[in-house]
Amino acid sequence: MTDLLTIENLGNLVMLCFLQAVLGFDNLLYISIESQRAPVAQQAAVRRWGIIIAVALRIILLFTMIQLIDAMAEPFFILNWEGVLTGGVNFATLVFIIGGAFIMYTAVKEIGHMLAIEHLDTDVSGKSGKSAAQVVMLIVIMNLIFSFDSVLSALAITDVFIILATAIILSGIAMLVLADSVTRFLEANRMYEVLGLFILLIVGIVLLGEAGQAAAHAMHDPELALRFFGYEVIPMSKTTFYFSVLVLVAVEIIQSGYTRKLNAERRTSARH
């Protein structure tokens, strides 16, 4: 036990908690939005159990990856359609492609749903398009997909399982604490749900970009990077992603304030 309580391990734990917090933002946003597809009375329980099960499975995934990281890194096959599609495809590539495509599909579907509904109040009170079990399952699956890059990043910092597991548990507790607050905020400020869906759309693009370099990073071979028509698929940096999110949030806040000001001026003019 004393071997674990070193300055290096404590420093790694702090770094991993920060990493989990940064990389977990998009995950928390997805949980908050997806949980609203469940029956209203069960939404809080869906968020809670979805996060608890997902954290437990994430620790299992972490243990499995530590044991089988080399086997999972090996490409299943090499694409060699010269001039059109080349590069290696491994397990991480498939996870990022499937996860990214599903998140983009979810975001586009929900945006279309918002444009199609006629009465927002009815939509809020009557949301029951999926059963609680279905939503929990989706949250668990997508949590694992979201966690894949954070687990890989965590393994780059340390391979001490106890330290890694502790960071994951702490991040899970943080999500449990914040999930209801984020959901309540989205319900009270529905314009930000649209913002959240567009952020999820960007997250899907980020995951697709990660797929392009998954095999190359795992095998430390740049030639395994995916290339379409000779152009290498390069992932969006986390800095660029969060800058884009901040810009979207700033635009939404300014636009909402400006809209309220215009509406107030119109009401004043109407009285006169």
Is residue 54 pLDDT above 80, yes or no? no
**pTM for the predicted model, two decimal places:** 0.63
231 part of a folded domain:
yes
Of these ranges, 30-34, 118-122, 138-142, 243-247, the one predicted with the greatest mean pLDDT is: 243-247
Q: Which two tokens stand for residue 150?
A: 């954070």
Instruction: Give the pLDDT of residue 125.
Output: 46
Query: How is 235-267 classified by DSSP, letter by letter?
Result: PPPHHHHHHHHHHHHHHHHHHHHHHHHHHHHHH
187 part of a folded domain:
yes
259 part of a folded domain:
yes
Residue 139's alpha-carbon distances to 123, 194, 216, 223, in angstroms, are 21, 19, 29, 35
241 part of a folded domain:
yes
261 part of a folded domain:
yes
Question: Mapped to the 3 state alphabet, what secondary structure does 186-229 carry?
Answer: HHHCCHHHHHHHHHHHHHHHHHHHHHHHHHHHHHCCHHHCCEEC
Say if CB 148 and CB 23 are below 8 A apart.
Answer: no
Q: Which residue has the higher pLDDT, 162 or 18?
A: 162
Is residue 1 pLDDT above 70, yes or no? no
2 part of a folded domain:
no
Domain count, the chain: 1
1 part of a folded domain:
no
The mean predicted confidence, pLDDT, of the chain is 76
Is residue 121 pLDDT above 80, yes or no? no
Say if CB 133 and CB 37 are below 8 A apart.
Answer: no
Instruction: Give the pLDDT of residue 261.
Output: 86
* Residue range of the domain that includes 265: 7-270
Residues 72-105: tens digit of each pLDDT: 778 888 888 888 899 988 877 887 888 788 778 8
In this prediction, residue 20 has a pLDDT band, given cuts at 50, 70 and 90, of: low
Say if CB 145 and CB 54 are below 8 A apart.
Answer: no
179 part of a folded domain:
yes
Instruction: Give the pLDDT of residue 147.
Output: 66
In this prediction, residue 124 has a pLDDT band, given cuts at 50, 70 and 90, of: very low
Instruction: Give the pLDDT of residue 267.
Output: 84
Instruction: Give the pLDDT of residue 65.
Output: 67
Is residue 8 pLDDT above 50, yes or no? yes
